[in-house]
Amino acid sequence: MGMSEILSKGPARFRQLVANENFRRITRRKGDYIVRQEHEITEVYWSEAAQFMLLHTALNGKTLSLGDYFLEDNFFGEIEFFSGKPCSFDVVATATTELVVIPKERFAEILLQDAATSFWMNHRMANMYQSSMNIAIERSLYPLKFNIVKDIVSRCTSETRALNHDYMYQEAQRFGCTDRAYTRIIHELIKEGLVKKGEDNSTIVPINMDGLVAYLEQYQQ
């Protein structure tokens, strides 16, 4: 059996299991925590569709956002379930999300009983890990302007749904910088004729995609 076939069976089996069992359900609204940094995880959560942001706050008070996500069949707390350690991140809902609450003991039983579900879940964990690490590495090794430009280009070329924040400081958190530093870069890009502000004054709209791509390429040669 190939990987694609195994992965196609995992979510269907898990959804059926959720439908057959009387798991407790809770609702998280926009701005509510799904899990909190440094908190012990006593249950694993699953959502049929979840919209959320992933944040880490350092001891010096600086906050780094590791991305905004809109994911189907997503787990929360599964990494902490395996590691036995407190959560490394705040996970905050950015839209109303219904969560299925799975006791840790029952979660372990499910994984031991159904190899396809286990394989699928670990595949998702690996993808999330690689995505988060790629973001963190680029934030650390490239200039702030590069990261902001790459994000603008990615949002406009990716098929994945883009999520925009209402406030400048929330955008700045995605790059681990102050809102003043983020605003300065945006003003530079506007002055250079590469972007403009959208009608809502919070969205950044590219007006010279070739110029933005050329800026990125000079760092990747």
Full DSSP string of 90-119: EEEESS-EEEEEEEHHHHHHHHHH-HHHHH
Shared-domain flag, residues 14 and 106: yes
Domain span at residue 193 reads: 143-217
**The predicted structure's pLDDT at residue 11:** 87
Angle at 175 between CA 40 and CA 191, to 5 degrees: 160
Q: Based on the domain organization, do 132 and 192 belong to the same domain?
A: no
71-97 pLDDT per residue, tens: 889 999 999 999 999 999 999 999 999
pLDDT at position 10 is 86
Please check the confidence at residue 166 and state whether its pLDDT lies above 70. Answer: no
Query: Average pLDDT for residues 119-146, to the nearest whole number?
Result: 87
The reply to whether 121 and 186 lie within a common domain is: no
Residue 137 pLDDT more than 70?
yes
Q: Look at residue 178 and tell me whether its pLDDT is greater than 80.
A: yes
Per-residue pLDDT at 169: 56
Same domain as 96, residue 41: yes
Task: Clarify whether residues 165 and 124 are in a common domain.
Answer: no
Reported as a single tens digit per residue, the pLDDT across 61-74 is: 888 887 788 888 99
Report the CATH number that the domain containing residue 172 is assigned in CATH: 1.10.10.10
